[in-house]
Every structure is written in C-alpha cells, then in structure tokens.
C-alpha cells in the first residue's frame, strides 16, 4: 500500500499540521451517477463553490463523464483526468479505482451513499491526521433530517468516523446550495436579450403566462396541455429537451420536439430548448412566470428563482417520495392563506400522480404564490448555504 498523501501541493499525507488555511484544504468528492443529472449536478455545483468561494483544492471523482459533459461541455468524456474551472476531475472506475496515485484529502465527501474504494478508506484510516469524512445525503425536507444531520457513524473496522451531512429546508440541517453571486445575477438578468438569444423571439407581453417545463414522463401532462390550450390567456411553454419532450410532441401531433422546434395550438405556443450548461440553467427559471422542476438540483434552483414552481419529485418505490413531497409543501406552503395553500397542495399532488390538475384554480392564486415564493427564498437563506455550512463544519473538525 503506498503511503497516503495530500493532493494539495506541498503537503505530505502523514504530515500533521496544526491548522488549515482555506487554500491548503484538499477535498475529494466521489460521485456515482445513478441516473439523469441530479447526482453530478449537485456534486459539480458543490465542487465549483468549494473551489471558487472557499479556495479549496477540489478533486471530483465521477463514474459517468457523459452526464457530466452535458452539464459542463468542457469536460471531455474520453479523458481519465482533466481540470475544469479549477477542479480536478477524475474519471472514476468504481468500485476499486481511486485515482492514478492514491492521495487522501483533508475532507472526503461521499455523495449520496456511494461507496468509497476500499483502498482509499484503508489509507484514510492510516493517515495520522484523519480526514473529515462526510456522507452527503439526498435532500429531504422531512423533520427527522435535523436530528440526523452531523451524526457520526463509526467505521466497523477502523478508528474513523463518517459523518452524515443532510441538506434540508429547515433549521438544524445543512441547507441547500446557493452561490454568493446568485441573487445579483438574478437581479441583473437581461430578460429581453435572453429571449432573443435562447428562443429567437421577443419576450412575451405581460398578459402571457410563460411556463418552463422540466419534468420526468408524467401522465398529467396531457390534461394540463389541454387546459393551457383552452385557457383564456396566452401561454408560452419552454421545454428543455428531455424526458417529457415525447409527450409534448404527441400532443401537437409531431414526431419529436427537439431543440429549435416550435408548436402552436389554441392558446399555447411551445418552444423546445436545447440542454444548456449548468450555469445557464437558472436564466430559464428567471425568464419564466412559473417553473416546473424535478429531482433535487432544479428543485432548489426554482426556490432561489423566487417564482412560483411545481415540483416533480424523483419517484421512488412504494410511493416513498410522497411523504417527502408533503414535507417540502409543509415548508413552502406555510403561511399561505387556506385557499391558496389547498390549491398548491392539490396541484403538486396531481403533478405527482395523486389527483387531477386544475390549472385555472391553481393559477388563480398567482399573486399570493408570487409573494410566497419571494418570502420563502428569504426564509430558506437564513439556514445558510450548504457549501458554506459544510466548509465551516469541516474546518471546525480539522482544527
Ligand atoms: O436530472 P434529475 O432528475 O436528477 C436526479 C437524478 O434522477 C438523481 O438520481 C436523483 O437522485 C435526483 O434527481 C433526486 O433532476 P435535477 O436534480 O434537477 O438535476 C438536473 C440538473 O440538470 C440540474 O443541475 C440542472 C441541470 N440542467 C442543466 O444544466 N441544463 C439544462 O438545460 C437543464 C434542463 C437542466
């Protein structure tokens, strides 16, 4: 076994040093892509933030560079090792591969319970100064999360602890990711220029409702498309190419709905958009009046966009996702007047397979929903951002 070592320049692995300054904290993030873009989406965002905002030396191990390439076109899926935005990226051949040379970081993040290579864990345990080992969990708004956040879990064989780091929407959790510059970027967003550049048309008039639609396949889409088509006010639908595109194409009697396509029926005009690199995704949410989002990362971005949104939660076996949906609603709908709250809950449920959507009832509450979206973003910001919370905790453990 080679001796473990830091991958930050100039620090030998078994050397013990009294304190870390931000720039000499080395961090390894391990990410296994289960499906779609959420796993790498969260890890890439976190990696960039730890590098750019905290000055950490970050190495990101990812087992699926194709999914990564979609979020960051600079990533070449054929390379074993590369660098993007100051982050070292290793193509991770799980489960045994741990980089060309075994280097153990000060902070090791295992994302979403992916298993670290055994050789890496052994080297962590041997390191004189034990790394801070974090299991970054999936986001859940459920109450129990605050009780489990930062709980240690001793390794069965080695004298080393893994600590659970739980994102969440409530006090006592790790919060969710938010870049320091995000609000300024949103406030200075150039709406008209965005429409010309991304959609190739002028921004719609204020009487038009602009809806972005990022979702999994969803049986409720047909009825909703009918309701939008028949609505009194015009609707513009922006559909990033993806899993729901087939259903949209069928509705319009098309064979596909690839980027650049446009379709029109009754009150709806729909545009298909290409998948853009991750930092450009937020602008779609800012350009729309209401956002349909999914999974984890886009769900979080919709909250920071301060626009009403509808969440298509990642479906799990035995409807295990439904209590999670309700837990998120309990935070997000808190403080809404009864009518709006019930309507929001009904609509989110219907979009997740429970009940039937009623667009005009739901959108009748537009104004209160807009106010709530702005208030909620302020409340959520009070928990602090996940990268900052994680960095602070890690540094407290490295002292
Ligand atoms: O893609 P998702 O459904 O991801 C996931 C995965 O299914 C994962 O396994 C599951 O555990 C998790 O959800 C809960 O949805 P998500 O999380 O919103 O990730 C999508 C990412 O894609 C997000 O970072 C935004 C990004 N994106 C772009 O970068 N460009 C685009 O054009 C679009 C539409 C999205």
161 in the same domain as 15:
yes
Quick one: pLDDT band at residue 10, thresholds 50, 70, 90? Answer: very low
User: Is residue 2 in a domain?
Assistant: no
356 in the same domain as 388:
no
Nearest atom in ligand 1 to the alpha carbon of residue 34 is: 9
Distance CA 386, CA 49 (A): 10
32 lines ligand 1 (CB under 6 A): no
User: Is residue 3 in a domain?
Assistant: no
234 in the same domain as 155:
no
User: Is residue 1 in a domain?
Assistant: no
For residue 191, what is the domain's CATH number? 3.40.50.2000
What percent of the chain stands above pLDDT 90?
91
23 in the same domain as 112:
yes
47 in the same domain as 15:
yes
324 in the same domain as 246:
yes
Quick one: pLDDT band at residue 21, thresholds 50, 70, 90? Answer: low
Cβ neighbour number for residue 121 with a 10 Å cutoff? 21
Of 144, 120, 55, 7, give the one whose Cα is nearest residue 387: 55
H or E element, residue 298:
helix 297-304
Residue 270 has pLDDT above 80, yes or no: yes
Nearest atom in ligand 1 to the alpha carbon of residue 296 is: 17
41 lines ligand 1 (CB under 6 A): yes
pLDDT of residue 96: 84
Enumerate the active-site residues: 39, 296
Identify which of 298, 321, 324 to mutate to test ligand 1's pocket (most ligand atoms within 8 A of the CB): 298
Burial category of 182 from C-beta neighbours within 10 Å (exposed 0-12, middle 13-18, buried 19 and up): middle
- Residue nearest atom 18 in ligand 1 by C-alpha distance: 298
User: Is residue 34 in a domain?
Assistant: yes
Residue 97 has pLDDT above 90, yes or no: no
164 in the same domain as 60:
yes
160 in the same domain as 34:
yes
Residue 293, token pair as written in the block: 């989002």
Give the count of domains, the chain: 2
What's the order of all strands across the beta sheet hosting 26-31?
Answer: 81-84, 87-91, 57-62, 26-31, 107-111, 132-136, 161-165, 152-154
Across residues 217-232, what is the average pLDDT? Answer: 98
Quick one: pLDDT band at residue 102, thresholds 50, 70, 90? Answer: confident
Quick one: pLDDT band at residue 361, thresholds 50, 70, 90? Answer: very high
168 in the same domain as 200:
no
- Residue nearest atom 14 in ligand 1 by C-alpha distance: 295
pLDDT of residue 20: 54
314 lines ligand 1 (CB under 6 A): yes
Distance CA 396, CA 236 (A): 49
309 in the same domain as 190:
yes
281 lines ligand 1 (CB under 6 A): yes
CA torsion sign, 60 to 35 to 94 to 109? Answer: positive
Nearest atom in ligand 1 to the alpha carbon of residue 71 is: 29
Instruction: Measure 39 CA to ligand 1 centroid, in angstroms.
Output: 7
122 in the same domain as 81:
yes
275 lines ligand 1 (CB under 6 A): yes
276 lines ligand 1 (CB under 6 A): yes
pLDDT tens for 31-59 read 999 999 999 999 999 999 999 999 999 99
pLDDT of residue 9: 29
Quick one: pLDDT band at residue 11, thresholds 50, 70, 90? Answer: very low
Distance CA 258, CA 273 (A): 7
Domain residues for 22?
A: 9-176+384-398
Measure the N-to-C terminal CA separation of the chain; round to a whole number of Å.
28
Nearest atom in ligand 1 to the alpha carbon of residue 41 is: 24
Identify which of 38, 114, 293, 305 to mutate to test ligand 1's pocket (most ligand atoms within 8 A of the CB): 38
Cβ neighbour number for residue 156 with a 10 Å cutoff? 5
Nearest atom in ligand 1 to the alpha carbon of residue 314 is: 14
What percent of the chain stands above pLDDT 70?
94
Quick one: pLDDT band at residue 24, thresholds 50, 70, 90? Answer: confident
241 lines ligand 1 (CB under 6 A): no
Q: Confirm if 366 and 373 have CB atoms less than 8 A apart.
A: no
357 lines ligand 1 (CB under 6 A): no
255 in the same domain as 119:
no
User: Is residue 357 in a domain?
Assistant: yes
């Amino acid at each position: 076994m080679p001796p473990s070592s830091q991958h930050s320049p100039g620090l030998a692995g078994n050397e013990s040093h009294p304190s870390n300054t931000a720039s000499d904290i080395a961090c390894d993030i391990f990410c296994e892509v289960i499906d779609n873009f959420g796993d790498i989406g969260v890890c890439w965002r976190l990696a960039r933030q730890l590098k750019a905002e905290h000055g950490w030396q970050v190495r990101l191990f990812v087992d699926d560079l194709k999914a990564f390439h979609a979020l960051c076109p600079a990533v070449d899926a054929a390379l074993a090792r590369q660098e993007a935005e100051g982050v070292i990226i290793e193509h991770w051949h799980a489960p045994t591969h741990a980089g060309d040379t075994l280097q153990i970081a000060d902070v090791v993040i295992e994302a979403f319970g992916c298993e670290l290579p055994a050789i890496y864990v052994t080297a962590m345990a041997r390191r004189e100064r034990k790394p801070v080992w974090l299991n970054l969990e999936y986001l859940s708004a459920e109450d129990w999360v605050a009780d489990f956040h930062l709980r240690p879990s001793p390794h069965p064989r080695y004298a080393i602890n893994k600590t659970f780091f739980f994102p969440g929407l409530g006090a006592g959790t790790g919060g969710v990711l938010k870049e320091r510059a995000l609000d300024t970027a949103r406030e200075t967003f150039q709406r008209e220029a965005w429409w010309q550049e991304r959609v190739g048309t002028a921004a719609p008039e204020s009487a038009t409702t602009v809806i972005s639609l990022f979702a999994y396949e969803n049986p409720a889409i047909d009825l909703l498309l009918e309701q939008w088509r028949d609505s009194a006010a015009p609707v513009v639908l922006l559909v990033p190419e993806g899993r729901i595109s087939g259903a949209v194409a069928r509705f319009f009697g098309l064979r596909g709905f690839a980027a650049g396509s446009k379709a029109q029926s009754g009150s709806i005009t729909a545009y298909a958009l290409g998948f853009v690199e991750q930092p450009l995704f937020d602008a779609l949410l800012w350009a729309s009046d209401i956002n349909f989002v999914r999974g984890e990362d886009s769900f979080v971005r919709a909250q920071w966009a301060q626009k009403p949104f509808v969440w298509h939660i990642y479906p799990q076996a035995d409807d295990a996702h439904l209590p999670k949906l309700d837990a998120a609603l309990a935070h997000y709908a808190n403080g809404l007047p009864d009518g709006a709250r019930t309507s929001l809950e009904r609509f989110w449920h219907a979009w997740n397979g429970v009940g039937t959507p009623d667009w005009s009832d739901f959108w009748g509450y537009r104004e209160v929903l807009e106010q709530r979206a702005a208030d909620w973003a302020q409340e959520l910001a009070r928990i602090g951002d996940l990268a900052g919370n994680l960095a602070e905790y890690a540094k407290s453990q490295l002292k």
